[in-house]
Amino acid sequence: MESRRTRLSVTKEASDTPMPSEEWVMAWAVDATTGQPRYILELDEDHRGGQCNCKCPSCDLMLTAVNAGKSVWKRRPHFRHPAGASRENCVIVAARKAVEAMFARQKKIVLPRRRRSRELEGLSGRYFNAWVEHPAETVGITDCTFEDETRAILNLSDGRRLLVQLVGRGEASKGGNPDDGITARIEIRVDDPTVADMAPEDILSRLELSWSQGCWIRHWADEELGVDAEAQARAQAAAALDWIEDDDLHVDLSSAERRETLLHREVKAILERERRIRVPELKAIVDWRHANGQVATKCWSQPAEEITLSSVELEVHLGRSVPDVIATWATEDGWSHSMLIEVTVTNPITEERIERLSSFGWPALEIDIGRMGGVVNREEFTRLVVDEVAGKRWLYHPTLEEGRSHLLAALKADEAWAVEAEQRKQAILAVPATEWANRYLDAVRRRWREQSLFGDQLPDTESLRQSQADVVEAIHSLGEHGYPATILDDYPLRRVIARILSFHDGTVIEYRSDVWGIINAILSDGAEARRWHTLYLIALKVYPPTLSDVHRDKVKAWRDNVVKSIRNEEDTYVRETTYDQMIGLLFPEMRPALREPFGTPLYIPERERDDDSWMDYRSYSLALALEPRSSPNAPNNLDARLFDASGKAASQGQSPISFAKGYASQVEGLSVEQIVNRLIEIGVARNKWMWS
């Protein structure tokens, strides 16, 4: 109910301070005979002075009309009380009577708007407020009847009646007849005594404002407005999925149960209307603990997808279970599938219910409204149900169970394979590495013999396939024994082994010439292939072939050139030692020579043994030279990079000096000597020839 009231008074611009009560005058009184309001300037000649026949509307004392009818006066015309009478309340009541008199003179009035509200508690406990209003309206007045000094009944031109109550500050409203459907009641506050001195036209102008700002106590449309406001509050709650009519619900249902029923129906209505739903991904994760205690994990997933539905049913009884929704769709192969949908609001689904739902073998999907962001409208709820996967989860899906079974079977198969692999490895290790080396060389010989029978053609014979399989098996077995045999049958190692084996056997392998033809091919090697020449010279010394004097002289000149180059610290013929141990296994007679550092990065000329002073250089300026100036952590970063790179180089058989030369060519501002010194300082190298 509105509490605003309108005060009829002079405007603020007319007087910024209240008029003293001794200056208040009454220009209005009531006829002592008829009780009708009288304005002093409207009295005729027979009703002036003490003959005015007017009395005070408040105290009922007879009044005197002072200066009535005069056009010039020292004191404005007014009604005067008898001497000694109190006038304050009388002036206020006279002001009200003046306003009453003006009601009868108004032909049309503008009634203020009427606003009503209703509040509705939704099923979730949330409140919804709605306001409606009857607009302001202009009405005509046919007549005015005064009930008493403060109440007037206005009969309007459309047949309605309006009760006007004039009230002052602090006065309580008096109710009319609440059952009178055609009578409305409005309050206009009149407590300014200066109104009692106003002319009728002034009161009328102010009364127009008072009508527009009056306060309704009762309105003809109150009942209709209340119904509309309540309907709008229900509409707000219904739009927020928080209200359902009770007509078709069991009377014993709680608010929470009613809302859950509402949401179930809404989901079904949405799915029936949209005929589609996006379901979350399927993801299966299975762990398997091996006999050695290690845990293996496999994962399978199928992305989220949109399903086009063919039918939707609500709360169908399936034995002892009643799923909220059953949705059906058909796949591209024409098969029809069904899915159970559970809608949860507050209470989670129990494991016992999940077990019952899964017993049907159909996919079971949960749509958890509680995880979808609180109260939503129908449009948002539709988007969440149809297009989003948040708040959705698979309670059960037969594909997931199949996926878990397949993953578990794969994990078990992996373990079985690992067991078999370990058994195969142990069987390989039970055979000495020397035996596998012999088998490898034997397979290489057999493969070449088979190939040589077909000239330049590529034969495909059983014996060739078997010999190749034996090569692969021997290589794998040597790898299990810890030898770097992975690329043993790839170039350049395959060519290196074929050449040495040719010297060993005294017959060519993988060459269509004689031994000298192989030596001649070696002498024609490019720069990269010359790092293997020390191996060939060792093999020629251990397995000397039959050569002519001319050929022997050429071999000697070749040997002298290689020795000279190595002693001059040239890198041309320096051999990395990565494969020396494996070559020594294949060709045991070469092993003593392979253990010698000459021709490898481990070789230190005599003069270097006598003078290593340059490697002892540890000045602060060198440390600064190795540290980039841009970052205080740069030395640690540099050391870390050197440590990683040098570790790889050492595993490949490179010496510190060889590594430093390659590293210096890739990094600006660092010399070979600086890199070697840094390697020694961080403890990864003893000197430029040996790692720590």
- DSSP code string of 479-547: HHTT---TTTTSTTHHHHHHHHHHHHHTS-SS-SS-HHHHHHHHHT--TGGGGGHHHHHHHHHHS----
Please report which confidence band the pLDDT of residue 377 belongs to, taking 50, 70 and 90 as the band edges.
confident
- Is 90 exceeded by the pLDDT of residue 342? no
Predicted TM-score of the model (pTM): 0.47
What is residue 148's predicted lDDT score, i.e. its pLDDT?
A: 63
More confident: 401 or 563: 563
Backbone angles phi, psi at 181, to 5 degrees: -70, -20
- Is 90 exceeded by the pLDDT of residue 588? yes
Per-residue model confidence as pLDDT tens digits over 387-428: 988 889 999 999 888 889 999 999 999 888 988 988 999 999
Please report which confidence band the pLDDT of residue 5 belongs to, taking 50, 70 and 90 as the band edges.
very low
d(CA 653, CA 482): 15
In contact, 309 and 277? CB cutoff 8 Å: yes
- CB-based burial label for 416 (10 Å; 0-12, 13-18, 19+): exposed
More confident: 55 or 316: 55
Q: Which of 214-223, 535-544, 593-602 has the highest mean pLDDT?
A: 535-544
Q: Is 673 helix (H, G, I), strand (E, B) or coil?
A: helix
What is residue 193's predicted lDDT score, i.e. its pLDDT?
A: 64
Tell me the average pLDDT across 127-154.
80
Q: What integer best gives the mean pLDDT of the chain?
A: 80
What is residue 354's predicted lDDT score, i.e. its pLDDT?
A: 86
What is residue 589's predicted lDDT score, i.e. its pLDDT?
A: 95
Please report which confidence band the pLDDT of residue 108 belongs to, taking 50, 70 and 90 as the band edges.
confident
Tell me the average pLDDT across 5-24.
42
What is residue 174's predicted lDDT score, i.e. its pLDDT?
A: 45
Per-residue model confidence as pLDDT tens digits over 116-140: 988 888 777 788 899 999 998 888 8
- Is 90 exceeded by the pLDDT of residue 658? no
What is residue 190's predicted lDDT score, i.e. its pLDDT?
A: 60
Please report which confidence band the pLDDT of residue 569 belongs to, taking 50, 70 and 90 as the band edges.
confident
Least confident of 148-157, 205-214, 420-429, 469-478: 205-214
Backbone angles phi, psi at 349, to 5 degrees: -80, 130
What is residue 508's predicted lDDT score, i.e. its pLDDT?
A: 92
What order of strands is seen across the sheet that includes strand 54-55? Answer: 37-39, 28-31, 54-55
What is residue 634's predicted lDDT score, i.e. its pLDDT?
A: 37
User: Could you give the residue ranges of the DSSP H alpha helices within 312-377?
Assistant: 351-358
- Is 90 exceeded by the pLDDT of residue 470? yes
- Is 80 exceeded by the pLDDT of residue 689? no
DSSP element (H, E) containing 438? helix 433-452
d(CA 278, CA 282): 12
Per-residue model confidence as pLDDT tens digits over 51-97: 999 999 888 899 999 988 787 878 888 898 898 777 767 887 887 77
Please report which confidence band the pLDDT of residue 453 belongs to, taking 50, 70 and 90 as the band edges.
confident
Tell me the average pLDDT across 372-386.
77
Closest CA to 277 of 329, 343, 334, 319: 329
What is residue 272's predicted lDDT score, i.e. its pLDDT?
A: 87
- Is 70 exceeded by the pLDDT of residue 604? no
Q: Are strands 151-156 and 137-146 parallel, antiparallel or unpaired?
A: antiparallel
- Is 80 exceeded by the pLDDT of residue 608? no
More confident: 607 or 297: 297
- Is 90 exceeded by the pLDDT of residue 353? no
CB atoms within 10 A of CB 624: 10
The contacts of residue 270 (CB under 8 Å, 6+ apart) are: 381, 382, 385, 386
What is residue 209's predicted lDDT score, i.e. its pLDDT?
A: 58
d(CA 96, CA 195): 8
- Is 60 exceeded by the pLDDT of residue 366? yes
d(CA 444, CA 314): 76
- Is 70 exceeded by the pLDDT of residue 616? no
Please report which confidence band the pLDDT of residue 176 belongs to, taking 50, 70 and 90 as the band edges.
very low
CA distances from 179 to 3, 150, 183, 353 (A): 22, 21, 9, 57
- Is 50 exceeded by the pLDDT of residue 609? no
The three-point CA angle 347-349-351 to 5° equals 140
Least confident of 10-24, 152-166, 366-380, 642-656: 10-24
- Is 90 exceeded by the pLDDT of residue 671? no
What is residue 179's predicted lDDT score, i.e. its pLDDT?
A: 43
Q: Are strands 37-39 and 161-167 parallel, antiparallel or unpaired?
A: unpaired
d(CA 283, CA 459): 50
Please report which confidence band the pLDDT of residue 563 belongs to, taking 50, 70 and 90 as the band edges.
very high
Tell which phi-psi region holds residue 384, choosing left (phi > 0), alpha (psi between -120 and 50) or beta: alpha
More confident: 176 or 237: 237
d(CA 196, CA 17): 18
